[in-house]
């Protein structure tokens, strides 16, 4: 504490913080700014006066005329802030001297000047004739602070002896008005060599928006100022025109501009008239006050708990600045910067002392930063960067190097309903999962957290395909166990992709890429399983990637085609309709099977757009058939599971029919059995809506799902389609025959029509017709045909293969 006090006193004595003190003074100055006295007027030699009266300097008869006018107006005193140090014209000088003598209360200026940096300072006095005529002489020396602003004024100054009063003080003296000067402690003379000053004071500037009364020299001389305006006023005359007079920066200069010197003199005069002159706190007050505040503030900082240190510093600074403001209101300026700086420094040093200072702190922060950049913030496991760092060491294998297995594990546990309702518990669950992973894996495995749902597991020391499978199965079984959380049990669906170095990849990045490829394949297969990487998986993924890119613009490029496969009456073999089948031909990839591109369209979210396009094309084809006189025919359209559950389905179908002008009964909608049974309630509602609108509904691929008679009776379907896998086995498999007969029997009991697809032989057709199947479809009658070929087939008489 003693060191802080001593250092603070040294700072205060050396005035090392003067710039900060000056800035604080400027901020506090408005708290004590006096109003500008209405007894002060400034007559400015401004640009307008120069324009009106001619080039400067003017003949001194003109100044004499001005003084005479001021005398006639009975002003209190005149401060002529114009240096008349050189003779101009004997008659003119005499004329001005006579005018000054007649006035009897004119003060002329004295100023220190230096002709060059190496020349001594000298005193610039008025001409002896003018000085003798003046009531008094007053100095106009202006002190500039280190920032170039003027805030101070000396009541007395002079060459060798500070005998000249300041011009504002001299004006009061010649007017017979006693000036109440502040009690200023004697101090050594200051300023340039030879020029001495005494009784330093601070200028109490009035607010920037409260300037003294300003009058133009030309207006006064030309009679545009009434005599009553200046009666009993202190009038200062000075230069304000650009490039002629002195311009000085002050704390109240507007927009960082500068103030004419004559107005600065007016500010000092105002302070004297208002008796609001400011003085510096004497050393006998400033140093003890500085030391006391530093001592008390430091003591409070040390005694209070460290967490209150900043509060103590802020409080100490507030008290110090408030005290300085109160003293300023009383006309005393106490520079507080040394106290403020020492309070902040004391708190900083004390804080560093308490914390064991910077080395420990830096070490701790760097360690934490390194850990945060290399580990997951919640699980605490190494992140992907650390895994890739480990993998970078893998390269061409040496004979004695063991294989390395990499597992990429994905957990979809957050997708459950309970997980969504309790997402705030995710962090705790994540830590529980990490515990399970550690329990299920060998101690030498490297477990990393790649992102929110993916983990990377590196298994060294002989981890190849032969011994990895049991370990992976055990880990999956462990992760499948329910997790208890807040009286609920949450289930996870883990999927694992596995890649082995050096069999599957020769370097680390390739190993990680292949493990992700295997994971993608595992998730495509439904998840909750593992998949080992193989070259064919990589090739399939490459093909899928090409399909994903190609299908994005397939609709725009008109690469899709709708083919039609005839559906015939089982007895007469007459065409009664057709099934619309989507085909895709890409210029680069060729013809692509629906079994390949439909899953890609569903995964990419394009299935709705493609399905809607098919509906529109089929409806237009129905209209075309009708216009050609080939109807009525029924066209069947397959609905994908995503399309079937879309809330826009009904509107899209209605819009397609509206455009074509065809009735709903001409369109049959096919839905797979598995799609219907996946969400029974939603499927029943959707099919009821479609049936009420007049559409015919068929169950596609019937016999491959798990629908029961009771479940099937709940659906408003019109027709069952026997899957081609059973049709093709007719006559060669008793079980297939029995299944087909069971389906036909079930349909009859429910009053439903039947159609068998995949009919390729006359024997199959005869069997189906003999046992009551209503309609047939297959290559025996027609392969899928483009629209124009299908129309040609219908024109032949409607008996394909006849």
pLDDT of 413 above 60: no
Q: What are the sequence ranges of the domains in the chain?
A: 2-15+281-353, 36-277, 372-533, 548-795
- Rounded Cα gap, residues 16 and 10, in angstroms: 9
Burial 437-453 (b: 16+ CB within 10 A, else e): beebbeeebbbbbbeee
Question: Two tokens at 634?
Answer: 């029924």
- Average of pLDDT values for 2-18? 62
Closest CA to 298 of 283, 312, 282: 312
Q: pLDDT tens across 269-319, in order? A: 998 998 888 887 777 676 787 777 777 777 776 777 767 777 877 887 788
Which of 47-56, 184-193, 599-608 has the weakest average pLDDT?
A: 184-193
Question: How confident is the model at residue 125, as a pLDDT?
Answer: 92
- Average of pLDDT values for 685-698? 81
CATH architecture of 372-533: 2-Layer Sandwich (3.30)
Q: pLDDT tens across 223-243, in order? A: 899 888 899 999 999 998 887
- Rounded Cα gap, residues 635 and 221, in angstroms: 109
pLDDT of 588 above 70: yes
Q: How confident is the model at residue 420 (pLDDT cuts 50, 70, 90)?
A: very low
pLDDT of 192 above 50: no
Q: What percent of the chain has pLDDT over 90?
A: 21
- Rounded Cα gap, residues 193 and 137, in angstroms: 22
Residues 621 and 662: beta-carbon distance below 8 Å: no
Helix H, strand E, coil C: the string for 678-744 is HCHHHHHHHHHHHHHCCCEEEEEEECCCCCCHHHHHCCCCCEEEECHHHHCCCCCCHHHHHHHHHHH
- Give how far Cα 471 sits from Cα of 466, 477, 514, Å: 10, 10, 19
Question: How confident is the model at residue 500, as a pLDDT?
Answer: 87
Q: What's the mean per-residue pLDDT of the chain?
A: 82
C-alpha torsion 762→767→772→773, nearest 10: -50
pTM for the model stands at 0.48
* 502 upstream amide cis, omega within 30 of 0: yes
Which superfamily is assigned to 548-795 in CATH? EAL domain (3.20.20.450)
Which residue is associated with the tokens 């995503």? 642
Residues 625 and 791: beta-carbon distance below 8 Å: yes
Question: How confident is the model at residue 415, as a pLDDT?
Answer: 46
Residues 416 and 425: beta-carbon distance below 8 Å: no
Which of 2-11, 19-28, 354-363, 534-543 has the weakest average pLDDT?
A: 2-11
Residues 141 and 163: beta-carbon distance below 8 Å: no
Residues 776 and 574: beta-carbon distance below 8 Å: no
Which of 342-346, 702-706, 713-717 has the weakest average pLDDT?
A: 702-706
């Amino acid at each position: 504490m003693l060191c802080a006090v001593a250092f603070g006193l040294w700072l205060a004595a050396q005035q090392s913080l003067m710039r900060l003190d000056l800035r604080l003074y400027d901020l506090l100055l408005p708290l004590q700014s006096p109003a500008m006295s209405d007894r002060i007027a400034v007559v400015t030699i401004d640009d307008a006066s120069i324009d009106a009266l001619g080039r400067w300097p003017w003949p001194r008869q003109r100044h004499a005329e001005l003084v005479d006018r001021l005398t006639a107006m009975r002003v209190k005193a005149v401060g002529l802030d114009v240096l008349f140090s050189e003779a101009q014209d004997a008659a003119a000088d005499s004329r001005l001297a006579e005018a000054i003598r007649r006035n009897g209360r004119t003060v002329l200026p004295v100023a220190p000047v230096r002709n060059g940096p190496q020349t001594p300072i000298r005193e610039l006095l008025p001409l002896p004739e003018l000085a003798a005529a003046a009531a008094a002489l007053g100095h106009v020396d202006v002190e500039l602070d280190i920032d170039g602003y003027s805030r101070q004024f000396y009541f007395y100054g002079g060459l060798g002896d500070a005998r000249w009063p300041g011009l504002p003080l001299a004006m009061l003296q010649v007017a017979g008005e006693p000036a109440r000067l502040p009690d200023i402690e004697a101090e050594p003379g200051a300023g340039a060599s030879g020029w001495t000053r005494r009784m330093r004071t601070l200028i109490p500037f009035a607010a920037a928006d409260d300037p003294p009364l300003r009058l133009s020299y030309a207006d006064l001389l030309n009679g545009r100022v009434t005599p009553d305006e200046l009666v009993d006023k202190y009038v200062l005359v000075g230069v304000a025109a650009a490039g002629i007079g002195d311009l000085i920066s002050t704390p109240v200069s507007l927009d960082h501009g500068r103030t004419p010197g004559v107005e600065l003199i007016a500010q000092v005069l105002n302070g004297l008239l208002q008796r609001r002159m400011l003085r510096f706190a004497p050393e006998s007050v400033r140093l003890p006050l500085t030391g006391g505040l530093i001592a008390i503030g430091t003591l409070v900082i040390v005694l209070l708990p460290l967490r209150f240190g900043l509060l103590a510093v802020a409080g100490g600074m507030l008290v110090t600045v408030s005290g300085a403001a109160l003293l300023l209101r009383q006309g005393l300026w106490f520079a507080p910067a040394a106290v403020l700086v020492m309070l902040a420094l004391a708190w900083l040093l004390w804080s560093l002392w308490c914390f064991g200072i910077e080395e420990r702190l830096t070490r701790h922060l760097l360690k934490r930063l390194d850990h945060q950049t290399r580990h997951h913030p919640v699980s605490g496991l190494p992140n992907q960067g650390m895994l890739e760092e480990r993998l970078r060491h893998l390269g061409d294998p040496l004979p004695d190097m063991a294989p390395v297995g990499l597992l990429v594990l994905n957990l979809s546990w957050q997708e459950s309903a309970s997980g969504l309702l309790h997402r705030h518990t995710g962090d705790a669950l994540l830590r529980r999962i990490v515990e399970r992973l550690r329990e299920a894996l060998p101690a030498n495995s490297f477990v990393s957290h790649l992102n929110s749902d993916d983990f990377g597991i590196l298994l060294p020391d002989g981890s190849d395909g032969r011994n990895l499978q049991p370990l992976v199965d055990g880990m999956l079984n462990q992760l499948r166990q329910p997790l208890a959380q807040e009286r609920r049990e949450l289930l996870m669906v883990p999927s694992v992709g596995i890649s082995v170095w050096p069999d599957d990849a020769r370097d680390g990045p390739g190993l990680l890429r292949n493990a992700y490829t295997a994971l993608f394949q595992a998730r495509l297969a439904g998840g909750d399983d593992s998949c080992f990487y193989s070259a064919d998986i990589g090739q399939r993924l490459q093909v899928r990637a090409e399909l994903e890119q190609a299908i994005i613009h397939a609709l725009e490029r008109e690469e899709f085609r709708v083919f039609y496969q005839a559906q015939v009456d089982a007895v007469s073999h007459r065409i009664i309709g057709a099934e619309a089948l989507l085909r895709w031909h890409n210029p680069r990839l060729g013809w692509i099977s629906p079994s390949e591109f439909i899953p890609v369209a569903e995964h990419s979210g394009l299935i709705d757009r493609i399905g809607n396009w098919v509906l529109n094309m089929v409806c237009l084809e129905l209209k075309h058939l009708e216009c050609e006189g080939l109807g009525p025919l029924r066209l069947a359209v397959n609905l994908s599971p995503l399309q079937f559950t879309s809330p826009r389905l009904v509107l899209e179908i209605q819009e397609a029919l509206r455009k074509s002008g065809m009735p709903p009964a001409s369109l049959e909608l096919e839905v797979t059995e598995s799609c219907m049974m996946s969400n029974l309630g939603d499927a029943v509602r959707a099919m009821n809506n479609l049936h009420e609108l007049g559409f015919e509904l068929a169950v596609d691929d019937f016999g491959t799902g798990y629908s029961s008679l009771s479940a099937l009776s709940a659906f408003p379907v019109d027709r069952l389609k026997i899957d081609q896998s059973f049709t093709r086995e007719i006559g060669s498999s008793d079980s297939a025959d029995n299944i087909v007969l069971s389906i036909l029997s079930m349909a009859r009991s429910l009053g439903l029509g039947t159609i068998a697809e995949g009919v390729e032989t006359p024997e199959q057709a005869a069997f189906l017709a003999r046992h009551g199947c209503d309609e047939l479809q297959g290559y025996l009658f027609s392969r899928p045909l483009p629209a124009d070929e299908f129309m040609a087939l219908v024109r032949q008489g409607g008996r394909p293969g006849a």
